[in-house]
Amino acid sequence: MLVVDKINSFYEEAHVLFDVSLEIEKGEVVSLLGRNGAGKTTTVKSIMGMVRPHSGSIRFKGKEILGWQPYLIAREGIGLVPDERRIFGNLTVEKNLEVGRRPERRGEWTMGKVYQHFPQLKKLKDRKGENLSGGEQQMLAIARTLLGNPDLILMDEPTEGLAPIIVEEVMRIIRELKETGITILIIEESSTLALSISERCYMMDTGKVVYSGMASELLENPERRLALLGM
């Protein structure tokens, strides 16, 4: 579904991604791990068109999307749940969801289905985004992206900064999404939870992919995992 092939990305002069390659098949859940500053967010932004790689190729459903504008990439079917959630604080929950709605991308996710799936959002629908807790904001960020009915969701550190009990809740939702057959790339620093719901896993360090393989392998071998993370 997605093939990232040897991309090199920069911020101004700073070379941040070095020949990063990864692949995601339809229906897979894949995790991308690496410590802070490894280049995970930059990889996600490169896929989304928010950072334009200087070389390499990104193919999505067979189309070369490198160089496309972000809104066209989103309309093609890639949904982003960004790091730090980026909720529109000046809008109510309902309006936040409306910004994510893409009526031209028909699919199962409608306002009704989102409210059914995230009952707390329905209760909070008239509350301003800036007045939500971290966990509520994360739910909203996921729901907002689902309303675009993406074929592939990129989730950048969806459990970052959340209380353990809320992390459980977010993971439960991701597991439920997985059941529906949607393709997901989960980014985390190092998470056994992310690995436990993934088939495959990539690890990055200092802008390079340093490991790719089965998630179970790393799950069973914590020392290896820590060594790869450079910890």
Partner 1 sequence: MPSGIDFLSQGINGIVLGLLFSLIAIGFTLMLGVIGIINFAHGVLFALGAYFAFTLRNSLGFWAALIISPLLVGLIGIIIERLAVRRMYGKDALFCLLLTFGIAMSGEELIRMVWGKLGHSIAAPAFVSGSIDLGFMLYSKYRLLLAVLSALILFLVWLFLEKTSYGAIVKAGAQDSEMVAALGNNISRMRTLVFGIGSALAGVAGVIAAPLWSVRPGMGNDAIMPAFVIVVLGGIGSFWGTVIGGLAVGLSVSLAVMFFPRMSDLVMYILAAVVLLFWPRGIMGEKSILED
Ligand X SMILES: Nc1ncnc2c1ncn2[C@@H]1O[C@H](COP(=O)(O)OP(=O)(O)O)[C@@H](O)[C@H]1O
* Interaction between residue 46 and partner 1 (CB under 8 A): no
With CB under 8 A as the contact rule, the residue among 42, 43, 96, 198 that binds partner 1 is: 96
Q: Which of residues 1-40 bind ligand X (CB under 6 A)?
A: 11, 14, 16, 34, 36-40
Distance CA 173, CA 169 (A): 6
Using CB distances below 5 to 8 A depending on partner kind, what does residue 144 bind out of ligand X, partner 1, Mg ion, none?
partner 1
Nearer to Mg ion, 14 or 165 (CB): 14
Cβ proximity of 186 and 158 under 8 Å: yes
Report the alpha-carbon distance of residue 94 to residue 125 in Å, rounded: 5
75 binds partner 1 (CB under 8 A): yes
- Which of Mg ion, partner 1, ligand X, none does residue 14 bind to, with CB < 5 to 8 Å depending on kind? ligand X
191 is a contact residue toward Mg ion (CB under 5 A):
no
CA–CA dist 99, 7 (Å, integer): 30
Give the integer Cα–Cα distance in Å for 35 and 216.
19
CA–CA separation, 72 vs 84, rounded Å? 23
Q: Which of 31, 42, 43, 145 binds partner 1 (CB under 8 A)?
A: 145
Q: Which residues bind partner 1 (CB under 8 A)?
A: 48, 50, 69-71, 74-75, 80, 82, 86, 88-91, 95-96, 98-102, 105, 144-145, 148
Q: Which residues bind Mg ion (CB under 5 A)?
A: 41, 83
